[in-house]
Structure 1
Amino acid sequence: MGAPSITSQELNFLVFRYLQESGFTHAAFTLGYEAGINRSNIDGNLIPPGALVTFVQKGLQYIELEANLESNDAAVDSDFSFLQPLDLITKDVPELQQIIKERKEQLQMAKGNDLDSQRGSEKEREKQDKDRDKEMQKEKMDKDCEREKEKDRHHEENKDMAKNREDKTKSKPDENDVRGGSEAMDCTPVSFEIPSSEVTILEGHSSEVFACAWSPAGSLLASGSGDSTARIWTIPDGPCGPNSQITAQSVQVLKHFRGRTNEKSKDVTTLDWNGEGTLLATGSYDGQARVWTKDGELKNTLIKHKGPIFSLKWNKKGDCLLSGSVDKTAIVWDTKTWECKQQFEFHSAPTLDVDWRNNNSFATCSTDSMIYICKIGENRPIKAFSGHQGEVNAIKWDPTGSLLASCSDDGTAKIWSMKQDKCLHDLKEHIKEIYTIRWSPTGQGTNNPNRQLVLASASFDSTIKLWDVERGSLLYSLNGHRQPVYSVAFSPNAEYLASGSLDQCVHIWSMKEGKIVKTYTGGGGIFEVCWNKEGDKLAACFSNSTVCVMDFRM
C-alpha cells in the first residue's frame, strides 16, 4: 500500500483549524490561511515544508506591527521586543498595545535612571578632572615657589658670604684702598658719584636682568632676563639722562615663549652678538638657543641640548656658534644651515663656560673641575687641563689665543699654555670663589700692542685683582666693593676697568692709578657691566629688573 497523500489545501485547512482551536483568532492567520489556499490553487502542489511556517511568521509579524501602531501616532517602533511569543498567541491587539505601553514606560524610566547615572558619572569625572587640574596647578606653583626659594637662598648665601668676609680675611682692608705690593692708595668714590640725572634707566623687564651686551656695529644694547625675554634697545646719541628718548619703538622684545604669560623655564641666561652686529644669539633655561636679527625677528631655534644653556659664543669668522649646557655637552652649530655641526661630550658634569681660541678650536670648562681644548672634526680633546679643586666657573683666551685663563670655586685663577700640561701660573691671592675673569685688550694682536697684558679676576671675597701675566704676580687688589663682584669689563682703550657687585655699585677704576674715578649706585645687585665700542657709554644690568646706561668721559 502506498504512502497516503494530502493536498496543500487539506494541509492548510488542518493547520488553520488547529490554530483556531488553540485560540489563534486574529485575522492575520486567516490571511495566512487564505494566502496558502490561493498559492495551492496556483501551483496545485503540496505546501513546501517551510511555507506554512512562513505564513505563521508573517501573521505574528503583522500582529506585532499592528500592536505597535498607536492610534494617535503613525510612527512605528522598529523594536518589537516588547512582546513575547506567548503574548502574541493568547492576547488580542488592544491587550498587546497596553502591554507595549507599560513596557515602554518602564523602558523610559530605566533610560532616565541610566541618564541620571551617566550624568552622575560625568559630574564625577568633571570633579576628578578639576581635582587633577588643581593638583597639577598646585604642583606647578610648588615648583615655581621652590625655584624662587632656590634663587633667594642663592642670594642669601652670597649676602652671608659678604657679611662674614671679615672673619676669614687675613687682614681687613680699608674701604676703597688698592693694594699693589706693599703700597696702598686711598680712593674716595663719593666725590665721583655719577648722579641719576646723567643715567638713562631702561625699564620693561619684569625680573632680574642677567646679561647685557652692546652690538659691535652700533648703538644697540641687548639684555636678557629671568622674565623669559631678551630686549634690543636703541640707545640714542648724545648725553644720557632721564629725558633720553627711549620710546616703545626704541626697543624690540624677544619673547622666548608662545603664550600670553611668561614661562620661568625659558629664562634667558646668556647672549652674544656676532662680529658684524647683525645677529644676536640667546641661550635659555629651556635648553634652546635662539638666533635673532638686529630688528628682533626670530631667525632660528636651535634644538638639541637637553639642559639649560649657560654660555654662547660666535667665532670671529661668524660661520659657527658655540653653546655649552648643563647636559654636560658643547655644540658647534653651522650658521649656514643652522644644524648641529658637532656635539662634544667630554665632561662628566654640567658645562659652565665655552670660549673660542680661533675659528676652529675652543675651550670648555665644567663643574667637574676639568678644562678641555676641542677642535672641530676631532672626536677627542686635543688638550685636557686638570688642576682646579672646584667648579671651573669661567675660561677666557688672551687676544692671541696662546694663553687660557680660568677661575674656580677653589679660590684660584690659573693661566694655561698649549705648550705644557700643567698651569703656567697659579694665582692664589683671592680667599673665596672667583666668579669671572677678563683679559685687558692689550699686547700683541690688539689695538694697544705696546701695553702690558693684564688679567682681571672678580671674586665673592668682594675684591678685584689685577695680575701681571708675564710674571704671574699680583699688580693691584681693588677693594672698593662690599659684596661679591659678579662682573668686570675693560674699556676698549684699556685705560679703565668697570666692575659690578651685589652691593648695587658700579665702580670705574683707573688702570694707570689703580683707583676709583667714577661710581654709580643703582637699585639692585649688578650681574653684568659692558662698554660700547667707542668706550664712552657703560651699561649695567640689575636684579631689580632694570638696565642702566651712563656716559663716561674723563
Structure 2
Amino acid sequence: MSVTSEEINYLIFRYLQESGFVHTGFAFQNESHIHKSEYRNANVQPGALVSVIQKGLLYMDLELHVNEDGTERECTGPVALIGPHRCDKQAKKPKRDELVSRGNKRDRKDTKRAQKQQQEREKRAKMDADDEEKDEENMMDTDQVEDVSVVGTPAEMTDIPEVKIIPASDAITLKGHTADVFVCSWNPASPSLLASGSGDATARIWQIPANTDEPLKEPIVLKHLPALTDNNRDVTTMDWNASGTLLATGFYDGQARIWTQRGQLRYLMSQHRGPIFALKWNKKGNYILTGSLDHTTIVWDATTGDAKQQHEFHTGAVLDVDWLDNTTFATSSSDGKVYVCKVDSMDPLKVFEGHKDEVNAIRWDPLGELLASCSDDRTVKIWSMAQDECVFDLTAHTQAVYDMTWAPREASSRILATASFDTSVRLWDANTGDCLRVLSRHVEAVYTVAFNPAGTHLATGSPDYTINIWRVQDGALVKTYRGEGGIFEVDWNSTGDKLAACVANGTLVVAHIKL
C-alpha cells in the first residue's frame, strides 16, 4: 500500500475545484504540475479527499478506543485532525452498530413495518384458525362435508362509494435507480422537474413529459460519494430552493451538497460527523439548515457553502428541522425535545418538552403561529411561542405517528393531517384540537401524507403498496393506485396535476391526476 504526492496533489486540486476556489485551484495546478501528471484525466468521485480524511478519522477513532482484547472503550469525545483527543469518560459510548440502527430513519421504518407485518400475520392466522373451527362446527351440525359455501359481503364494504382506480395509462414509472427510492421533491418553479434520492448513492433530476404517451428523457444523475458500506449509501433528504434554481441533498456520509438544475456540483458541505437526516432551505434561499445523527444542527451559508454556526443542544439524533422565517427555525430529536433557535444566536429561543419518545417530524403552520410535532409516543402536540406548555395534545393515534403536514394557506381552515403506524390518517382542526376525519383504508403503516396545492385533497402512501387520494371536505377516498412496492414518500407538483411517489423497488411513479 503506497500513496504518491501526485495522487494527493490531484485530490487537493479536485477539492479546490469542487469548493469553488477557482483561482487557488488554477495556481495550485500550475505549481504542482498536475496538468502533466498521469492522473490529470482520472475519474474521481466528488468529495474524494473529504472521504479519505473521514475514513482516516474513523481509523483514528478505532485506534484510540479499541483495547487489545478487542473491546471498545467508552468515549463520546470527538476525534479531530488537528489537536489532541481527550476521552469523555462520563458518557457511555454506544456501539457502532447501535448508532447505525438507532439513527437510520429507513431502518426504523423497516423495523416498525416488520413488527406490523408480524402482527397482521398473527391476526390472520388466528382468524383462519377461528374460521376453520367454525367450519368444523357447522359441518358437525349439518352432517354435510361437501358442497358447503358461504356467500356474503364484508360489512366494511357496504355503503362505500366506488373508488376510481388510477389506470396504468395515467402513470409513468421512472426507472434507473438501483436501490430503494426514499425521497423526492418537485421543483417549485418548474412543475415538470422532479428530483429523487435513493440508496444507490445517487440523486436524479427528471424532466416529466406533459402526457404519458410522450417519450421520457434520460435523467441527470447526481453522483454522491459512496459511503463506507453498501448498506450506507442513502441520499436521505433533499430540498429545492424557493426559486427552483438549486437543489440541496443530504447523504449518509454526513455531507450536504448543493447542485444546479443541470447537475453541476456547486458546493460540498462537510462538517457533520454522522448521517444527515433533515435538510431545509429558508425562504430567502441564503441559508440551508441540516440535522444529523451527530446530535447537531448546522446553518450553512448557501452563497459560499461555509458553515455559519453549529448548534449542539440535543442529546440525541436530530430527526427533523423546519424554518419559521428566514432566520428562525425549529429542530426535533430522538431525545424527545423540540428547540426553537435563531441565526446568530447560540442560545435557544424556546425549548418544548412533553414528548416521551423520539420526535419524528415538526412543521410550522402556514401562518407561522403554531408548531406541530409528532412522536413515537403516539401523540401529536401543537405549540405556540407564546407559552411553554403545548396548546393541544392530540392523543387519538394508537401507534407511533411518523409524518404530518399542514393544509396550505389557500385552504379555508387550519387543518393538520397526521400519519401513523396504526394504519390511519387523521385530520385535525388546529383551532379547536378536534379530530375532523379518520381516514382508514390502508392495511399497513402510513409513512407519508401530502396536501395538493389547493388543500382540497390529501395523498397518502404506505408499505401496503397503495397510494390513496382523499377528499378533505368529507374524508371520501376518491382515487387509489396500487404499485409494485412499498411507498416511502409522496409529493404533489406546484400545479397539482401530478403526484410523485417513491417506491421500495427502486422506481418512482408519477401519476397524472384529474380531480
TM-score (norm 1): 0.66
Aligned counterpart, 2:363: 396
Question: In 2 relative to 1, CA 484–380 (structure 1 residues): closer, same or farther, beyond 3 Å?
Answer: same
Question: In 2 relative to 1, CA 390–506 (structure 1 residues): closer, same or farther, beyond 3 Å?
Answer: same
User: Deviations for 1:485-508, whole angstroms, at most 9, x for unmatched residues?
Assistant: 000000001110000011100000
Structure 1 position 496 matched with structure 2 position 469? no
Please say if residues 407 and 455 of structure 2, whose CA atoms lie closer than 8 Å, have aligned partners that are also in contact. Answer: yes
Please say if residues 175 and 480 of structure 1, whose CA atoms lie closer than 8 Å, have aligned partners that are also in contact. Answer: no
Aligned counterpart, 2:267: 300
Aligned counterpart, 1:160: 118
- For the residues of structure 2 that align with 1:323 and 1:187, how far apart are their CA atoms? 44
Please say if residues 176 and 479 of structure 1, whose CA atoms lie closer than 8 Å, have aligned partners that are also in contact. Answer: no
User: Deviations for 1:331-352, whole angstroms, at most 9, x for unmatched residues?
Assistant: 0001122100110100001000
Aligned counterpart, 1:480: 441
- For the residues of structure 2 that align with 1:153 and 1:228, how far apart are their CA atoms? 22
Aligned counterpart, 1:511: 472
Structure 1 position 327 matched with structure 2 position 281? no
Aligned counterpart, 1:204: 176
- For the residues of structure 2 that align with 1:163 and 1:434, how far apart are their CA atoms? 22
Percent of aligned pairs sharing the same letter: 49
What code does the residue aligned with 1:371 have?
A: V
Give the secondary-structure state (helix, strand or coil) at the position aligned to 2:169: helix
Aligned counterpart, 2:210: 237
Q: How does 1:141-152 map to 2 (within 5 A)?
A: none
Give the secondary-structure state (helix, strand or coil) at the position aligned to 1:160: helix
Q: 1:459 aligns with which of 416, 420, 424?
A: 420
Question: In 2 relative to 1, CA 412–258 (structure 1 residues): closer, same or farther, beyond 3 Å?
Answer: closer
- For the residues of structure 2 that align with 1:392 and 1:458, how far apart are their CA atoms? 13
TM-fit CA distance, 1:447: 3.5
Q: Which moved more, 1:146-155 or 1:357-366?
A: 146-155
TM-fit CA distance, 1:464: 0.2
Q: 1:546 aligns with which of 504, 507, 512?
A: 507
What code does the residue aligned with 1:224 have?
A: G
Aligned counterpart, 2:482: 521
Aligned counterpart, 2:308: 341
Please say if residues 175 and 479 of structure 1, whose CA atoms lie closer than 8 Å, have aligned partners that are also in contact. Answer: no
- For the residues of structure 2 that align with 1:346 and 1:415, how far apart are their CA atoms? 21
More helix by share: 1
- For the residues of structure 2 that align with 1:394 and 1:540, how far apart are their CA atoms? 19
- For the residues of structure 2 that align with 1:207 and 1:515, how far apart are their CA atoms? 34
- For the residues of structure 1 that align with 2:494 and 2:170, how far apart are their CA atoms? 20
Aligned counterpart, 1:54: none
Please say if residues 488 and 503 of structure 2, whose CA atoms lie closer than 8 Å, have aligned partners that are also in contact. Answer: yes
TM-fit CA distance, 1:162: 5.3
What code does the residue aligned with 1:186 have?
A: I
TM-fit CA distance, 1:361: 0.7
Aligned counterpart, 2:249: 282
Please say if residues 228 and 263 of structure 1, whose CA atoms lie closer than 8 Å, have aligned partners that are also in contact. Answer: no
TM-fit CA distance, 1:545: 0.6
TM-fit CA distance, 1:229: 0.7
Unaligned runs of 5+ in 2: 1-96, 126-153
Q: How does 1:59-208 map to 2 (within 5 A)?
A: 153=111, 155-160=113-118, 186-189=160-163, 192-208=164-180
TM-fit CA distance, 1:244: 3.5
Q: Number of residue pairs matched? A: 385
Give the secondary-structure state (helix, strand or coil) at the position aligned to 2:232: helix
TM-fit CA distance, 1:512: 1.5
Please say if residues 206 and 217 of structure 2, whose CA atoms lie closer than 8 Å, have aligned partners that are also in contact. Answer: no
What code does the residue aligned with 2:297 have?
A: A
- For the residues of structure 1 that align with 2:196 and 2:374, how far apart are their CA atoms? 25
Larger CA Rg, structure 1 vs 2? 1
What code does the residue aligned with 1:399 have?
A: P
What code does the residue aligned with 2:215 have?
A: Q
Structure 1 position 436 matched with structure 2 position 422? no
User: Deviations for 1:294-313, whole angstroms, at most 9, x for unmatched residues?
Assistant: 11111111000000001100
Aligned counterpart, 1:257: 225
Structure 1 position 246 matched with structure 2 position 228? no
- For the residues of structure 2 that align with 1:176 and 1:278, how far apart are their CA atoms? 47
Please say if residues 176 and 481 of structure 1, whose CA atoms lie closer than 8 Å, have aligned partners that are also in contact. Answer: no
- For the residues of structure 1 that align with 2:247 and 2:157, how far apart are their CA atoms? 37
What code does the residue aligned with 1:160 have?
A: Q
Question: In 2 relative to 1, CA 150–343 (structure 1 residues): closer, same or farther, beyond 3 Å?
Answer: closer
User: Deviations for 1:495-532, whole angstroms, at most 9, x for unmatched residues?
Assistant: 10000011100000001221111100000100000101
TM-fit CA distance, 1:266: 3.0
Please say if residues 464 and 486 of structure 2, whose CA atoms lie closer than 8 Å, have aligned partners that are also in contact. Answer: yes
Question: In 2 relative to 1, CA 258–312 (structure 1 residues): closer, same or farther, beyond 3 Å?
Answer: closer
What code does the residue aligned with 1:286 have?
A: D
TM-fit CA distance, 1:159: 2.2
TM-fit CA distance, 1:265: 2.8
Question: In 2 relative to 1, CA 472–458 (structure 1 residues): closer, same or farther, beyond 3 Å?
Answer: same
Give the secondary-structure state (helix, strand or coil) at the position aligned to 1:212: strand
Give the secondary-structure state (helix, strand or coil) at the position aligned to 1:265: coil
What code does the residue aligned with 1:232 have?
A: I
Unaligned runs of 5+ in 1: 1-142, 168-172, 178-184
Aligned counterpart, 1:140: none
